[in-house]
Structure formats: structure tokens, C-alpha cells
Amino acid sequence: MFSQVYSGPTRSKGDRLGADRERQMATIKDVAARVGVSVATVSNALNGKPNVGSAVRRKVLRAAKDLGYRPHRAAQAMRKGRTRAIGLVLPDLTNPFFPQLAQTVENKARKLGLLVCLIDSQDSPEGEADGLTLLAQHGVDGIIWCPVGPRIPRPIHTFGRPVVLIDRPRPGFAVVHSNNLMGGQLLAQYALRHGHTRVGLLSGPRSVESAQQRRNGFVTAHPQQIEIAWEVRVGFDGILPPEACAALLERRGATLVVAGNDLIAINALRWLTQHDVRVPEDVSIVGFDDISWARIVSPRLTTVAQPLVAIGTRAVELLEERLCGAVIASRATVFDVTLVERESVKSI
């Protein structure tokens, strides 16, 4: 009798109709009360500790399930110092390179029971610093990070948490990225195969290592067979400086334009089209990244595809390893790239 009255308030949480949950989630205490055992035992049972009998363990598991018990992550975080949340710090989601990455990272992380906390710094170092501080405050366990600046700021707030960089290596940090050198080489082979022996370069910024690699891969692959007619440096946002526009119009004998990434290639494409230069009839173009836009411009862009899914997945795996205590040396994981042939290149 009395026990019924007493148990009332507790019971009403999860018992009615099974899946019904009023507002508060069931706590470990509720489970303990229902089984008639101490909270410690419940915790031990739930965490697979050896010091709990199999009968009790079964009962606990059962009760937890019945009550729809979920551990209170904030409480766990307090005790263990782990939140099972990770930060994903990106420079700009509206750059079509990143959404698929974000999607992959989130999905892979969720499979591992990790929550992804997003920071979009809008390409601003201050925003990035703010975001990192916020992440640190929430105690995320680790960070997947595509840093905006060429250098990791000095007193950076990783707070001793593991970091995996994406796409942009920085000394002392683990990184996963594509084989940009190989990409450049693939493009060079491809150019040669289609008879292009004189090309113009719209290389990415000198400060971005991947841009440098792409360029060098291309330039050094067949140096005696491919001649660089001209080269202009362009930011990875694809905005063409006047010299680039001029070079595109003059061309100086180049039959192929090799762009540092798809954004650059697409802007070049548009500039050319606007000035009545036909692609690929008058000049061919190749890009790099295979962003979604490459498929919808016309002509569709021949480009080098990065294995975004593999990169995102691997970054999460790498981070998770480190979360679990593996103190692996900060190495780079490099993925092969593939050439995607479309219609922006004509054979000569």
C-alpha cells in the first residue's frame, strides 16, 4: 500500500504506456529503486564492470530498458571529463567543398555515438577563435578542424584536446587530406593525352600548401613536354584578379587552363563565356575538387575528385582513436584522388 503511494511519483515517469516520457528522463536512481539495488551497482552493471552478478545485471539492464533510461551526459561529463561530443570547425559552409564533408563527419560520428558541434568561422580568424573557445567551454573531447589561417594561432584553445586537421596540414598536428601532388600529375598526364602542350595556370594561393602541391604535381610531371605559357595566382574563393582575366583573354598560345580549384575554374569559365570565348572549343579548362557545381555548369567541368567521404570518415576515426587514449604521433593520412572526365576539355 504505502509502497505504491511512495512509488507513485517515481513510476509516473516511464511506466505509463511504456514509451511515454513525461518531461524528466529516468535517472540511474529510478533504475536502482525499481530493481531494489544501489545506484553504484546499476552504474557498474550498465558499464559492464565485473563486480555484479549475472542475475542482478540482467534485471538492471531490463529495468533500464523499460524505463527508457539514458545516461545524463552532462553528469557523465562531470565525472569522467568526457562529453562524447566533438567540434567540427569549418571556414565556410557556403563553399561547396564543405557541406559533404560536414555531412560525412556528422554521420560517421553519430555511428560512434559522438555528437558533432558545428562552428562556421565565415573565414574569420576571430570567429574561429570564438568558436574554439565555445567548444572548449562545452568540453568537447576533440576537434576536427579545417583552419582558416596559414598558421595555428599561438595561444590556441585546444586545451590539450586531440585535434585532427582536414585538408590543411600544420606542423605538429595530425591531418587527413588528398594527394594533391598526385592530382596535379593526373592532370598533366590527361592534358598530354589530349594533346595540350602549352597551358596557362590559374594556381591557388602560394600560402596554401595544397594549392602548391597541385601546381607542383602538374608542373613537374612532364616538364619537357608541357610548357607553361603563363601563371597567375588566384585565391581559393575563385575571385579572379585583373591579371587573371587578362591572361584568359589573351591566352598566349595556351590551349588549356589549369585552375587551382573548381571555384577558380568555374569563374574562369564564366568570364570566358561572357567574352565570347567558347569552352572547350576555343580553350579547355580543368579544375580541382569536383564540387557539386562542377556537374552543373556547362560545359560540365573536367576535374580531380577528392574522396570527401573517405576523408571525413577517416578524420572521425582518427579522432576517436585519440579520444580513446591512443597517443599516436601526429601523422598525415593521404588519400588518392581520381580524375573525372567531363566536357570542358577538347582533344587537339
Q: Which residue has the cell 554521420?
A: 107
Question: Is residue 51 a contact residue for DNA (CB under 7 A)?
Answer: yes
Extract the C-alpha cell encoding 49: 564492470
Q: Does 40 bind DNA (CB under 7 A)?
A: yes
3-state secondary structure at position 261: coil
Residues 6 or more apart whose Cβ sits within 8 Å of residue 247: 200, 202, 230, 232
Query: Does a cis peptide bond (omega within 30 degrees of 0) precede residue 280?
Result: yes
| Contact map string, positions 287 to 316, toward DNA, x by CB under 7 A | ------------------------------
Identify the residue among 116, 143, 176, 226 touching its own copies (CB under 8 A): 116
Closest CA to 97 of 142, 146, 144: 146
Q: Is 54 helix (H, G, I), strand (E, B) or coil?
A: helix
Tell me how far apart the alpha carbons of residues 153 and 130 are, in angstroms, rounded to a whole number: 12
Count residues near DNA (CB under 7 A): 30
48 binds DNA (CB under 7 A): no
User: Partners of 334 in the beta sheet?
Assistant: 177
Q: Which residues in 131-185 belong to E strands, given as ranges?
A: 142-145, 163-166, 174-178
Q: Which of 14, 33, 34, 41 binds DNA (CB under 7 A)?
A: 41
Interacting residue with DNA among 53, 153, 195, 253 (CB under 7 A) = 53
Binding mask 293-322 for its own copies (x = CB under 8 A): x--xxx------------------------
- Cell of residue 277, nine digits: 570565348
Which residues contribute to the site for DNA (CB under 7 A)? 24-25, 27-29, 37-41, 43-44, 46-47, 50-53, 55-57, 69-72, 75-76, 78-80
Query: What residues make contact with its own copies under the rule CB under 8 A?
Result: 19-23, 25, 70-75, 77-78, 83-85, 88, 92-94, 96, 98-100, 102-103, 106-107, 110, 113, 115-120, 122, 127, 130-131, 133-139, 155, 159-160, 266, 270, 273, 292-293, 296-298
